[in-house]
Amino acid sequence: MKKIIVLASGSGSNAENIIKFFKDSVNVKVSYLLSNNPDAYALKRAESLGISTKVFSREGFYNNGEVLEFLLGCQPDLIVLAGFLWLVPQDIVKAFPHRIVNIHPALLPKYGGKGMYGSKVHEAVLSNGEKESGITIHYVNEHYDEGSTLFQATCRIEPTDDIHTLVAKIHALEHAHFPKVIQQLLV
């Protein structure tokens, strides 16, 4: 049985989608959802689907090794960042080479890097008059949004699109593709 640990900071719609995708799998299971935000709705989504959760602090993530020790103890086959906003520290990246993946709501390398997340990405895409946007699923390294690209999917931006319609298009791409890419990585 392959084990996934999901890290999320916010609402958790991608985390929920991943959990549901693998719920009846005999080969893959989501074993934990971890969050740096004790108020993240992702925690409630995971708990309602029977997934164990853990909240951690900045200290535990960056300084005292608590999160690294927990992850090593769980021995996940894949760590999935699903709306997780902190930069993953080098010790965790090194402990899980090519086993941490992230989804970004734009076509990297455009609109990536520190501070480029959520609506900030979509606002930048729209204000620059882009004709398309999309998602990038990539390996995580010690820099924001710079790991090797695994998959991209695009959507057209129509002249009538605003932030709400673009967000809906991006969420549809995320929900359609992220679990399938994860599954391919684990076979």
Mark out the alpha helices in the chain (DSSP H runs): 13-22, 41-48, 58-62, 66-74, 90-95, 118-127, 163-186
Whole-number pLDDT of residue 126: 97
Low-confidence ranges of the chain (pLDDT < 50): none
- Cα-Cα-Cα-Cα dihedral sign, residues 39, 43, 45, 48: negative
User: The domain containing residue 51 runs over which residues?
Assistant: 2-186
Look at the chain and report how many structural domains it folds into: 1
Domain with residue 14: its CATH number is 3.40.50.170
Question: Given this model, what pLDDT does residue 187 score?
Answer: 83
Say whether pTM exceeds 0.85: yes
Rounded Cα gap, residues 181 and 176, in angstroms: 10
Annotated catalytic residues are 104
Residue with tokens 């699903």: 82
